[in-house]
Amino acid sequence: MTDTSIKEVAELAGVSIATVSRCINYPEKVTERTRAKVQDAIAQTGYSPNTIAQSFRRGRTNLIMVVIPSVGDPFFSALMRGVKRAAQAKGYSVVIEETQSNTMTADEVSRMLVSNQTDGIVLLGAISPYGTEILSAKSRRNLPIVVGCEKVSPDLADLPSVRVDNVAAASDATNFLIKHGHKRIGMIRGQGSSLLTKDRETGYRTAMREAGLPIGFGWVVEGRMTIPGARHATRDLLNCADPPTAIFCANDEMAIGCLHELRDSGLVVPDDVSVIGFDDIRYAEVTVPPLTTIRQPAEEIGERAIYRICRRIEEGPDVGNSEPQIVPHKLIVRQSVTAPRE
């Protein structure tokens, strides 16, 4: 059976390729309704579960697993366009697993990798709780793994990656606010456990320190990388004894939440408070006002990650070095930043 046939079964059942595999190899992990849909699709296409299982276990599946926080996230949606375009050009299919939806347990991910059901894995963003299991799978099978966007965990920091320099990019964003005359600059960060959050906070703190500016009490707050989280964080910043005149948000979704909360509080951006984001998602240019932000070349990161994993699949996991490929970021100036009022 070909990979295309596996895709046909999955498409007919309305599930992912990984779900078809789980129905065959680990039926107890799948709901009865999903199992029935997959079995009906197998019957309609004329293929048997044994044939499908054999195709997953042969020497090469031409499948790459992409672990992603959320397909619906605008940044990762753009990144996945690059992933799919490059995978198609190289003759590979992509299995997508979302860490937020918890559709696969860590043990299932480990078993899938070790049993040759995918040829390699691309990790995009934070991957907890998969980290240790994937690492142990890597040691048993020497599986090709490439990281996109960030250093996902200290245990996996030595894996090859494709990303921007988050420290430098966050420093550039903060310095842009400083150059406009802001001295009270707050930051809405992501989860404190995220290495990406730590890098961007490091860039912010470095720029403030080098400019000789203090970081006031309560000026760094967590926004959970979401719009609701950023709205709550913005309220905390406004309630500070000496509230910031500018806010650096560690991603654009939080910047959008920040803009909404400032407006609902009766403040005007940028006249009362300036806001800068990170990522340059597709909504950034249509916010009110249009958002100044740091652009990550999302599609390019996705493409490079796929080409890098394909090389490791085809030539061996040890081919080339494991140094990160740093892609350039760019400051996109729009209308959400101006000089502070006297």
* Residues 223 and 107 placed together within one structural domain of the fold: no
Q: What is the pLDDT of residue 263?
A: 98
Place of tokens 């059901």: 117
Domain total in the chain: 3
Write down the pLDDT at residue 315: 81
Domain membership flag for residue 137: yes
Residue 248 lies in a domain: yes
Distance, in Å, from the CA atom of 190 to the CA atom of 178, rounded to the nearest integer, reads 22
Same structural domain, 313 and 283: no
User: pLDDT, tens digit, for every residue of 144-163?
Assistant: 888 887 665 666 667 788 99
Q: pLDDT per residue over 99-144, tens digit each? A: 764 444 555 555 555 555 678 889 886 544 444 555 555 554 567 8
The tokens of 187 are what?
Answer: 């930051």
pLDDT digits (tens, 9 = 90+) for 163-194: 999 999 999 999 999 999 999 999 999 988 77
Kindly report each contact of residues 131-135 with a partner whose C-beta sits within 8 Å and lies 24 or more positions away, as own/partner. 131/155, 131/156, 132/106, 133/106, 133/107, 133/109, 134/109, 134/110
Provide the pLDDT for residue 243: 97
In this prediction, residue 18 carries a pLDDT of: 80
Question: What residues make up the domain containing 146?
Answer: 61-162+297-326
| pLDDT for residue 27 | 63
Task: Report, as ranges of residue numbers, the positions in the chain whose pLDDT lies below 50.
Answer: 1-4, 51-58, 101-104, 127-131, 140
Residues 111 and 38 reside in one and the same domain:
no
Evaluate whether residue 265 is within a structural domain.
Answer: yes
Q: Is residue 342 part of a domain?
A: no
18 & 94 share domain: no
CB 236 within 8 A of CB 265: no
Check whether residue 190 and residue 307 sit in a common domain.
no
What confidence score (pLDDT) does residue 90 get?
Answer: 87
Q: Which of 29, 58, 87 is the last residue of a domain?
A: 58
In degrees, to the nearest 5, what angle opens at C-alpha 22 toward C-alphas 18 and 23? 120
Does 146 lie in the same domain as 226?
A: no
Residue 239, burial from CB neighbour count under 10 angstroms (0-12, 13-18, 19+): exposed
Tell whether 291 and 256 lie within a shared domain.
yes
Residue 204 is part of a domain; what is its CATH number? 3.40.50.2300
Q: What pLDDT does 135 receive?
A: 53
Residues 170 and 113: their CA atoms lie apart, in Å, by 35
Chain-wide mean pLDDT for the chain?
Answer: 83
* Whether residue 190 is found in the same domain as residue 90: no
Considering the domain architecture, whether residues 171 and 285 belong to the same structural domain is answered as: yes
Q: For residue 154, with 0-12 CB atoms within 10 Å meaning exposed, 13-18 middle and 19 or more buried, which class applies? A: exposed
